[in-house]
Amino acid sequence: MALEKITRVAGRAVNVPGNDIDTDRIIPARYLKCVTFDGLGEFLFYDVRKNADGSDKPHPLNDARFKGASILLSGANFGCGSSREHAPQALQKFGIRAVIAEGFAEIFYGNSVTLGMPCVAASREVIAAIAAAVEADPGTVVTIDVANQRVSFAGRVADVSVRESARDALINGRWDPIGELVDGASDAAAVASKLRYMTA
Amino acid sequence: MARTLFEKVWSAHTVRTLASGQTQLLVGTHLIHEVTSPQAFGMMRDLGLKVAMPHRTFATVDHIVPTDQVSEPYADPLADAMIKELRKSCAESGITFFDRSTGKQGIVHIVGPEQGITQPGTTIACGDSHTSTHGAFGAIAFGIGTTQIRDVLATQTMALGKLKVRRIEVNGRLRPGVYAKDVILHIIFTLGVNGGTGYAYEYAGDVFERFSMEERMTVCNMSIEGGARAGYVNPDETTFAYLKGRPYSPKGAQWEAAVAEWRATASDPGCAYDDIVRMDAAEIAPTVTWGINPGQGIPITASIPDPAKARGDERASIEEALAYMKLSPGAPIKGTKIDVAFLGSCTNGRLSDFQEVARFLKGRRVAPGVKAIAVPGSQGVGLLCAELGIDKVFRDAGFEWRNAGCSMCLAMNPDKLVGDQLCASSSNRNFKGRQGSPTGRTILMSPVMVAAAAVTGSVSDARDVFGVSAN
């Protein structure tokens, strides 16, 4: 299974500020009732984007200026809470290709990378600078250089960080590990055969 | 060399190192449920993959099952479709399914231990972040996403980076009226909601040594609320006594051999940790949350934080939380009027939770205007409560006594808050909209504190309401 080598992500950005944005907020539990992930983009950030009657609330993702943005900016501990893959799936189905935040919750991070969606950590100052550039000109193209852990925007370049295992997996096109895991099947069986509870 | 339990279990389950540097880790026990797993079977079909070890995979239904309706089809057609999809996939693959008809159904994190499937020294994965619960037995247990569920179904392994280990010791004695729930809320408040990122938590010290398995599960359950993907307690005699004689526990000569192995799995004296934190049990009070994440907690005797006294980020967080919660800065949290009381969930839906509450609830009544629901975490818990007459105590007090499921913890079933109702809840998350209404409000607390709120109609100090003194 040949996967895309994700060495860079470039696009317009949208800032969804705040710390500890949890996966219930990214996609409320009532929209998890699905047997496939298709169509989840519609419910992204639903309760903060929509009123009870389905009309729009003021929210960056509803702002026409940021329509079509593919890079999401946010604060610390993004994606905390539930392990629901519906959260990164909803982001991806909405059109988001990468997230730049001050930090990420563990499970969300792993789920996102497995979908080929880089999670990039940046300092608060860098995120504020990107957000300011985007606010001043929503057409600003933000380019994440995954391989070299840099972000460039509006003539500026700043350092960002991607976990080494994620960076390796993304740039070498092995972010979905299934092929490699299947290749290890006989090794796995050998390890299992040594464990009492797995053979009983 | 002295090693931690984490290190021992990790190395016993390491298959190999992957090109990315992550470990291909063998998942000994895979637990699945109806919300995050049906899609994984679809992904498997697309790739032409089959379930590698169906005998190490166990399924149940918990998240979306109605707790007031037993017969199918369920009123919610989507819920009905998801359950049927999982049932079909399990039947096709030969996976044991603890369906409602078996009498063994319940919240996956309650069923695993109850059946003796959860054992020390094992690795456990499940598509639910509260999988850390199983760490109470000295297992390394963590929540995974659906693509990873596919990986585990297809290969019984997954790609994972190794975690660091932080030992959290709570020494001394808890004061009367302080419970396991208060201990974990206190830990999360102290270390922060993302303080555990990159760590597994090893819970230890006097308090954990004395804790029952159910109390240990309550603490391990909320590890993820502190950012830690896994949390565990070293196995000891309490663990072995709990497991003895359970349906999936080793039997006969196997039992003795297993116990010897389990004993050896515990962290060695003198092993090195990446971090150690020590807390004094006597400093922990009955704790309640006031905000929109589980780290925003205070002792019941304290006042709601005032953003004017905080700086920068913290000020903004407090302002956002108080605006959502409709609470006043500086006011006491005690006396806040509630609309709903919810007792249940994988955090506090076990026999001892209902037993402890029943001690105090006898002869009391739920306050007028409060909707109070009690939801046993499993059919097994429900049955034991019925045998002991506990369900009757709840019903007599005015609680609705329901069938097993996750219920109003995440409100994927019909149990939901309405409008901006405020719920005193024994569950694990107080996120915005968590309990099913986009404006619904949650205050997390121990089961006995939920009962105190239910009978008084407002957030109360259970020690005063029930006259708890040194027991």
Do B247 and B329 lie in one domain? The reply is no
**Residue among B18, B126, B408 with most chain A CBs within 10 A, to mutate:** B18
Do B256 and B318 lie in one domain? The reply is no
Do B225 and B351 lie in one domain? The reply is no
Domain with B190 in it: 5-275
Report the gap between the CA of B101 and the closest CA in chain A (Å).
22
pLDDT-derived band at B470, boundaries 50, 70, 90: very low
**Residue among B64, B431, B442 with most chain A CBs within 10 A, to mutate:** B431
- Evaluate whether A140 touches A21 at the Cβ level (below 8 Å): no
Average pLDDT over residues B197-201: 97
Do B211 and B91 lie in one domain? The reply is yes
Q: A184 and B432: CB-CB below 8 Å?
A: no
Do B436 and B355 lie in one domain? The reply is yes
A156 domain residue, yes or no: yes
A184 domain residue, yes or no: no
Do B257 and B404 lie in one domain? The reply is no
Query: What's the confidence (pLDDT) of residue A1?
Result: 60
B282 domain residue, yes or no: no
Asked if the peptide bond before residue B73 counts as cis, ω within 30 degrees of 0, the response is yes
CATH number of the domain within which A122 lies: 3.20.19.10
Query: What's the confidence (pLDDT) of residue B138?
Result: 98
Q: Structurally, how many domains does chain B consist of?
A: 2
Burial code (b: 16+ CB inside 10 Å, e: under 16) for B375-410 equals bbbbbbbbebbeeeebbebbeebbbebbbbbbbbbb
Instruction: Work out the mean pLDDT of chain B and round it to a whole number.
Output: 97
Report the gap between the CA of A29 and the closest CA in chain B (Å).
6
- Evaluate whether B147 touches A170 at the Cβ level (below 8 Å): no
B292 domain residue, yes or no: no
Residue A91 CA to residue A79 CA, distance in Å, equals 11
Query: What's the confidence (pLDDT) of residue B348?
Result: 98
Amino acid at B285: A
A16: phi then psi, degrees, rounded to nearest 5:
-115, 90
pLDDT digits (tens, 9 = 90+) for B343-373: 999 999 999 999 999 999 999 999 999 999 9
- Whether residue B105 has pLDDT greater than 90: yes
Report the gap between the CA of B142 and the closest CA in chain A (Å).
9
Do B348 and B256 lie in one domain? The reply is no
Burial class (CB in 10 A: 0-12, 13-18, 19+), B24: buried
**For chain A, percent of residues with pLDDT exceeding 70:** 99
Do B367 and B442 lie in one domain? The reply is yes
A108 domain residue, yes or no: yes
Beta bridge partners of B337: B458
Q: A107 and B194: CB-CB below 8 Å?
A: no
User: How many contacts (CB atoms, under 8 Å) link A and B?
Assistant: 221
pLDDT-derived band at B471, boundaries 50, 70, 90: very low
Average pLDDT over residues B285-305: 98
Low-confidence ranges of chain A (pLDDT < 50): none
Do B307 and B271 lie in one domain? The reply is no
Residue A156 CA to residue A143 CA, distance in Å, equals 10
Q: B155 and A184: CB-CB below 8 Å?
A: yes
Place of tokens 């053979």: A199
pTM greater than the 0.90 cutoff: yes
Burial class (CB in 10 A: 0-12, 13-18, 19+), B192: middle
Q: Structurally, how many domains does chain A consist of?
A: 1
- Evaluate whether A171 touches A144 at the Cβ level (below 8 Å): no
pLDDT digits (tens, 9 = 90+) for B240-260: 999 999 999 999 999 999 999
Average pLDDT over residues B113-128: 98
CATH number of the domain within which B309 lies: 3.30.499.10
pLDDT digits (tens, 9 = 90+) for B21-73: 999 999 999 999 999 998 999 999 999 999 999 999 999 999 999 999 888 99
- Whether residue B8 has pLDDT greater than 60: yes
Of A29, A85, A106, the CB nearest to B410: A29
A26 domain residue, yes or no: yes
Element holding A190 (H helix, E strand): helix A185-193
Report the gap between the CA of B107 and the closest CA in chain A (Å).
15
Do B323 and B446 lie in one domain? The reply is yes
Query: What's the confidence (pLDDT) of residue A42?
Result: 95
The B residues from 225 to 284 touching A (CB cutoff 8 Å) are 227, 229, 250, 254, 257-258, 261
**Residue among B26, B118, B415 with most chain A CBs within 10 A, to mutate:** B26
Burial code (b: 16+ CB inside 10 Å, e: under 16) for B203-218 equals bbbebbeebebbbbbb
A13 domain residue, yes or no: yes
Do B339 and B400 lie in one domain? The reply is yes
Report the gap between the CA of A70 and the closest CA in chain B (Å).
22
Domain with A125 in it: 8-175
- Whether residue B11 has pLDDT greater than 50: yes
Query: What's the confidence (pLDDT) of residue A35?
Result: 82
